[in-house]
Structure 1
Amino acid sequence: MLPTDLLMHRQNGEEIIPKRLKIDRGTSDLAIELINYFQSAVGKTQGVLERQLTDFEGDSTDYRVKRGLAYILKSSFCTFEVVSPLEPQMLRERVFSLAAKSVSSRESTQITLSKIADELTQELEREVLLEQVRNGLYADLSENKILTVFDAPTAPDLLNRYNLSQVQGVFYKASQLVLNAHRNVPGEYKLLFRYLKLFQLMAYIEGDADHGFTITIDGPTSLFNPSTRYGLAIAKLIPALLHVTKWSLSSILQTRDAYTNAWKTGRFTLNSECGLVSHYPPGKPYDSMLEASFADKWDALKSGWALEREVDLIPIPGSVMIPDFRLVHSDGRTFLLEIVGYWRPEYLQKKFSQVRRAGRDDLILAISERLNLEKAGVKLNDVPARIVWFKDKLLPKAVLAVMD
Structure 2
Amino acid sequence: MLTTNLARSRTTDQEIRPLFIDPTDGRYRETARELIQLFETHLNEPKGDLEDAIDELTVADTDYKIVQGLAKLLKDECEFEVVASVDPHEIRQRLFEKANTRYPIVRQPTLGEDTQKLEVYSAVADELGISLEECYRGMYADLEDNKRLVRIGTRTVDQYTTDGVSSTSTTALTGSSDADYEHTDLTVDWLLTRYNLALAQAVLYDATEMRIRVWDHFGTVFSYVKLFGLMHRIYPIDAEGERVASTDQAAGYEAVLDGPASLFSKSQKYGIRMANFLPALPLCNRWEMAAEVLADETTGETRVFTLDHTENLDSHYSTGDQFDSDVERTLAQKWERSNTEWELVREDDIFDLGAEVMIPDFAIEHPDGRRAILEIVGFWTPEYLESKLTKIRQVEADNFVLAVSERLDCASEEFGRTADRVLWFKTGIHVYDVVDLAETVTVPSETPSGSK
What TM-score comes out, normalization by structure 1 length? 0.70
Q: 2:123 aligns to what?
A: 118
Checking the alignment, whether the CA contact within 8 Å between 1:313 and 1:323 is kept in structure 2 is: no
Checking the alignment, whether the CA contact within 8 Å between 1:323 and 1:338 is kept in structure 2 is: no
TM-aligned CA distance change 1:117 to 1:254, over 3 Å: farther
TM-aligned CA distance change 1:371 to 1:110, over 3 Å: farther
Q: CA deviation at 1:315?
A: 3.2
Q: 1:321 aligns to what?
A: 359
Checking the alignment, whether the CA contact within 8 Å between 1:206 and 1:213 is kept in structure 2 is: yes
TM-aligned CA distance change 1:87 to 1:114, over 3 Å: farther
Q: 2:305 aligns to what?
A: 268
Match of 2:210 among 169, 177, 182: 177
Match of 2:193 among 153, 160, 163: 160
Gaps of 5+ in 2: 154-184, 237-245, 325-331, 333-345, 364-368, 380-384, 402-429, 447-452
TM-aligned CA distance change 1:234 to 1:114, over 3 Å: farther
Match of 1:132 among 131, 134, 145: 134
SS for the counterpart of 2:433 is: coil
Match of 1:219 among 259, 273, 286: 259
CA offset digits 1:49-101 (Å, max 9, x no partner)? 2111111112532021111111111112x222111101112323343455554
Equivalent residue runs for 1:339-358 within 5 Å: 357-358=394-395
TM-aligned CA distance change 1:191 to 1:128, over 3 Å: same
Checking the alignment, whether the CA contact within 8 Å between 1:10 and 1:18 is kept in structure 2 is: yes
TM-aligned CA distance change 1:29 to 1:60, over 3 Å: closer
CA offset digits 1:85-137 (Å, max 9, x no partner)? 01112323343455554443758997467436535634x5xx32332222112
Is 1:233 aligned to 2:273, yes or no?
Answer: yes
Q: 2:230 aligns to what?
A: 201
Q: CA deviation at 1:45?
A: 1.5
SS for the counterpart of 2:62 is: coil
Letter in 2 for 1:37: L
Checking the alignment, whether the CA contact within 8 Å between 1:95 and 1:113 is kept in structure 2 is: no
CA distance in 1 between partners of 2:360 and 2:76 (Å):
34
SS for the counterpart of 1:371 is: helix
Letter in 2 for 1:213: Y
Gaps of 5+ in 1: 289-308, 326-334, 389-397
TM-aligned CA distance change 1:116 to 1:175, over 3 Å: same
Checking the alignment, whether the CA contact within 8 Å between 1:324 and 1:339 is kept in structure 2 is: yes
Is 1:371 aligned to 2:437, yes or no?
Answer: no
Identity %: 29
SS for the counterpart of 2:230 is: coil
TM-aligned CA distance change 1:54 to 1:74, over 3 Å: same
Is 1:56 aligned to 2:62, yes or no?
Answer: no
Q: 1:41 aligns to what?
A: 42
Letter in 2 for 1:147: L
Paired residues, number = 342
Equivalent residue runs for 1:380-391 within 5 Å: 387=442
Q: 1:297 aligns to what?
A: none
Q: 1:305 aligns to what?
A: none
TM-aligned CA distance change 1:114 to 1:387, over 3 Å: farther
SS for the counterpart of 2:134 is: helix
SS for the counterpart of 1:139 is: coil
Checking the alignment, whether the CA contact within 8 Å between 1:323 and 1:336 is kept in structure 2 is: no
What TM-score comes out, normalization by structure 2 length? 0.64
Equivalent residue runs for 1:53-132 within 5 Å: 53-76=54-77, 78-104=78-104, 111=116, 114-115=119-120, 117-119=122-124, 121-122=126-127, 124=128, 127-132=129-134
Letter in 2 for 1:19: L
Q: CA deviation at 1:245?
A: 3.0
CA distance in 1 between partners of 2:76 and 2:13 (Å):
34
Q: CA deviation at 1:358?
A: 2.2
CA distance in 1 between partners of 2:70 and 2:347 (Å):
38
TM-aligned CA distance change 1:346 to 1:256, over 3 Å: closer
Match of 1:149 among 148, 151, 156: 151
Checking the alignment, whether the CA contact within 8 Å between 2:125 and 2:132 is kept in structure 1 is: no
Q: CA deviation at 1:157?
A: 0.6
Q: 2:449 aligns to what?
A: none
CA offset digits 1:248-302 (Å, max 9, x no partner)? 2221112359xxx9764222111222211111122359999xxxxxxxxxxxxxx
CA distance in 2 between partners of 1:345 and 1:156 (Å):
41
Equivalent residue runs for 1:264-343 within 5 Å: 264-284=301-321, 313-316=350-353, 320-321=358-359
Checking the alignment, whether the CA contact within 8 Å between 2:208 and 2:261 is kept in structure 1 is: yes
SS for the counterpart of 1:225 is: coil
Q: CA deviation at 1:162?
A: 0.3
SS for the counterpart of 1:242 is: helix
Q: CA deviation at 1:2?
A: 0.5
SS for the counterpart of 1:23 is: coil
Aligned-pair Cα RMSD in Å: 4.3
CA distance in 1 between partners of 2:269 and 2:323 (Å):
30
